[in-house]
Amino acid sequence: METFGAALSEVVERLTTANVFCGHGYESIHDEAVALVLGAARLPPEQTRDLLADPFPERAVARLSELLRGRCEERVPLAYLLGEAWLAGLCFNCDDRALVPRSPIAQVLVEGCRPWWRPQVAPRTVVDLCCGGGSLGIIAAHVFTSSVVLLSDIDQRALSLAHENIQRCAPNGRVHCIMADLLTPLAPKSIDLILANPPYVSTIEMHQLPPEYRYEPYGALQADEEGVALAVDLLRDATRVLSDNGLLILEVGESVEALERRLPKVPFTWIDLPSGGAGVAAVSAQELRDWSAAGDL
Ligand SMILES: C[S@@+](CC[C@H](N)C(=O)[O-])C[C@H]1O[C@@H](n2cnc3c(N)ncnc32)[C@H](O)[C@@H]1O
């Protein structure tokens, strides 16, 4: 393993042979191998191809094999081994207090939630509901540079990680943590934009997940038998909490059909996600009010 190129080839081969699952922030074995090699050498992700010909540092060899052991034998997600994860160009602290940040809602946020966010001005208030380590709300604070953002979760451990991420990468003073069960403590019409990635894995799906998911908090993944109970509760309460021109962006992953079966009259707009992922809907406050007025709540 004389060069970075040689280290990369070896890591690709080891990850492939171990048949690791790459759904935790990396789209392919190659992407994950690059992150693993750079992580072993403690180098940032912005590198040129010239690095491939550089000598792989002697001091990084032991760390590389430790990372490979954790990843290939124990199947720990790489972000937990490295203690950090990248999303939308930001680097977050990451450990088993919360899910590895990877929500496709990040793709919607970097586009300013256009065209679903219609007002010319940025949302004044944003809630990252079921925030885990807080990545989505913190990205929102970077995109909407005047918004006040609440990171809300029911789990104190997740919130302690979110708090660290505020210290690490949130713009000063505009991002705050609250412990809450869904939207319960929020005042009527107080929120312009709700970002919600609640637990939505159904009981059947839970049994079929690759081993990597065992390291993530159980309560961050499983909802109920069908996977949509929390999404249904929050849709009902979002009608109360959203301001007149408000917007809900909701992720339910593979549970789209179950949610549409449960609430057939909600006019979900399922967003096309060019960088991958599925099951993210936009619903405006007006659409929720119309649904509520039709007595379908
Ligand atoms: C799928 S994770 C999402 C984490 C984060 N938003 C992300 O994208 O990485 C779901 C989160 O919902 C939280 N949660 C579960 N039930 C909740 C509830 N009733 N109210 C608020 N948060 C809840 C869990 O603690 C977990 O952190």
pLDDT tens for 58-116 read 999 999 999 999 999 999 999 999 999 999 999 999 999 999 999 999 999 999 999 99
According to DSSP, the residues that pair with 74 across neighbouring strands are: none
247 in Cβ contact with 109 (< 8 Å):
no
Pocket (CB within 6 angstroms of ligand 1) = 98-99, 101, 103, 130-132, 135-136, 153-155, 158, 181-182, 197-199, 219-220, 230
Q: Report d(CA 244, CA 60) in Å as an integer.
A: 55
Residue nearest to atom 2 of ligand 1 (CA): 220
Name the band, by pLDDT with cuts 50, 70 and 90, for residue 223.
Answer: confident
**Domain extents in the chain:** 4-82, 97-293
Given a contact cutoff of 8 angstroms between Cβ atoms, the answer to whether 106 and 125 are in contact is: no
Nearest Cα residue to atom 8 of ligand 1: 103
> What is the pTM (predicted TM-score) of this model?
0.96
Handedness of CA 108, 111, 116, 118 (dihedral sign): positive
Q: How many Å lie between the centroid of ligand 1 and the Cα of residue 130?
A: 3
Helix (H, G, I), strand (E, B) or coil at 82: helix
Q: By the 8 A CB rule, do 296 and 265 touch?
A: yes
Interval 148-156 mean pLDDT: 98
Euclidean distance between CA atoms 277 and 40, whole angstroms: 28
State the DSSP code for 186. Answer: P
Q: What are the tokens at 60?
A: 């990084």
Architecture of domain 97-293: 3-Layer(aba) Sandwich (3.40)
Answer yes or no: are the C-beta atoms of 102 and 25 closer than 8 Å.
Answer: yes
Q: pLDDT band for 277, please (50, 70, 90 cuts).
A: confident
